[in-house]
Copies of this chain bind each other. A is one copy, B any other.
Amino acid sequence: MAHEQSNGANRAVDLSHHLNLKIRSRHPSPLKDIIRLMSMEGMVSLAGLPHPSLFPVHTTSVTSSDPSASTEIELKLSNDQKIPLSAFFQYGTGAGNAQLREWARDFTQLIHQPAYQDFNILLHPGNTNAWGKVVGLLCEEGDYILCESYTYPSAQAYWIPQKNYAAPIAMDGQGIRDHILEETLKAWDTTHPGVRRPHVLYLVSVGSNQAGVTMGPERRRKVYDVCVKYDIIIVEDDPYSFIQYPEQFLSSLAPSFLKYDYQGRVIRLESFSKTLAPGLRLGYFIANSMLAERLLRATEVETQDPPGLSQAVVLSLLQNWGMDGYLTWLQNLRLEYQKRRDWMIDAFAQHFRLVGASETPQLETADGLVALMGDVPVFSFVPPTGGMFIWAKFHLSQNPAFKKMQFDGTVDDPEQAFAGSLWARFAEELVLLTPGSYYHPWQGQDKITTKARGAEPETTHFRFSFSMTTKEEMALGISRLARVVRLSWEV
């Protein structure tokens, strides 16, 4: 296979047939064009921008953690610097600050080692907006989008009103299964006569937003090969890349799809939301030049440059820390979240008996650990190797209230109805979980019940986030949850 010989000397292949019809007709914003001419030596520009002397903010100082979060450092931004602060307060060209893009390029080269040369960096105001731009770049109304069997709700909330549908691919502990992906695509014309075969795969392949599952190298290579065979663009939405919990930090992180991408068919969405702060509204695209240019056209008319202060502060911070400093920061960050994950599992262990799934052969579909109350299995989960979440499958077969609801046959979807009432009971007892139903891929109005979706009967999911709470709060929350469970399961 070509990519096995790849040494990064490859160039992107022509993928322009993937472009949405509307994005093809986007021309450079004429005003942005002029912004480039403005910087010509000696030019008197009467083409107009607000005058920077009339911006009220003159300096910005920030106290920040050092990379090891042990002391504070001071960052000073002013108009006396090489790039004056006022430049960050002015209109820009849409692509974002050049130095920050240069940093992102170096970081990408160092960490992800893309298998082709001519990749490009374009800043964006957060992955939510970036995903919207990608849908606008690639998808037409009616298109199906390949995704994980549970997928990120906000991504879907964008595409559902666009009349896009999910084509979910079954997962295991390594993420989506390549042979299921291949079978889905191979059989598409038979299973979906008259519907365009999906050409976009949306993945949160590290610590995925619901399942906490991370896709390893071998699986990635296989998925990539299927995508080459069926001409799929892979959109790698990867805010959790550095919130992984491997033995060795850098050397054993799951690689990006970029590492296998000898054709330039990966669009990677990088975000500073999880590594620095969400309120920055700052991240960047990594994509082949043709796609990046089209995304820039969309950026000019949809959002313009990402926020200037965010760019200025992040650039200053990264320059101060240096590349090694940033990696130290990321290493500490994932240790912090790993500690929180362990607190959560400890809290489970205080109220439930945790046993390996192999010890509960009656639960055929349980993976990882099963949480028992008395002898009753309540939920099972795979301890996450990345991200901020535990994805728990609740087993309802021994819950009397659920069984009654199922037996009565008065509701269409007893799993969903029961999950809703259980979630509300938790919330009444002041413990807030995220319902698994938020993550059901939207396949159309006729596939909304558990049965119609082909989902596993007598189960439902809840997502536990371990990112926000202290150890004491977690213990309190899980004790409240255990009380609700005890009453509901009558044990």
Contacts and interface: CB of A to CB of B under 8 A. Distances in A.
Interface of A: 22-23, 25-27, 29-31, 34, 37-38, 40, 42-51, 54-65, 69, 72, 88-92, 125-126, 128-129, 132, 153-154, 157-158, 160-163, 273-274, 276-282, 300-310, 313, 317, 329, 333, 336-337, 340, 388-389, 427, 430-435, 438, 463-469, 473-474, 476-477, 480
Given A22-B162, A64-B56, A154-B31, A48 B308 contact: no
A45 B468 contact: yes
A391 to B, nearest CB: 12
Given A22-B161, A30-B157, A307 B278 contact: no
A302 B58 CA distance: 31
Contacts of A23: 161
Nearest to A347: B46
Given A30-B157, A56-B65, A336-B54, A129 B280 contact: no
B277 A55 contact: yes
A467 B44 contact: no
B279 A309 contact: yes
A352 to B, nearest CB: 15
Interface centre among A51, A273, A435, A438 (most CB of B within 10 A): A51
Please tell me how many copies of the chain the complex holds.
2
A433 B69 CA distance: 50
Given A47-B465, A59-B63, A278-B91, A30 B438 contact: yes
B333 A308 contact: no
6 contacts: A30-B157, A42-B430, A45-B468, A48-B466, A56-B276, A281-B304
Contacts of A51: 336-337, 340, 467-468
Interface centre among A37, A69, A161, A466 (most CB of B within 10 A): A161
B58 A432 contact: no
Given A61-B61, A63-B58, A430 B40 contact: yes
Contact of A57 (B30, B63, B464, B473): B63
A55 to B, nearest CB: 4
B92 A279 contact: yes
B281 A305 contact: yes
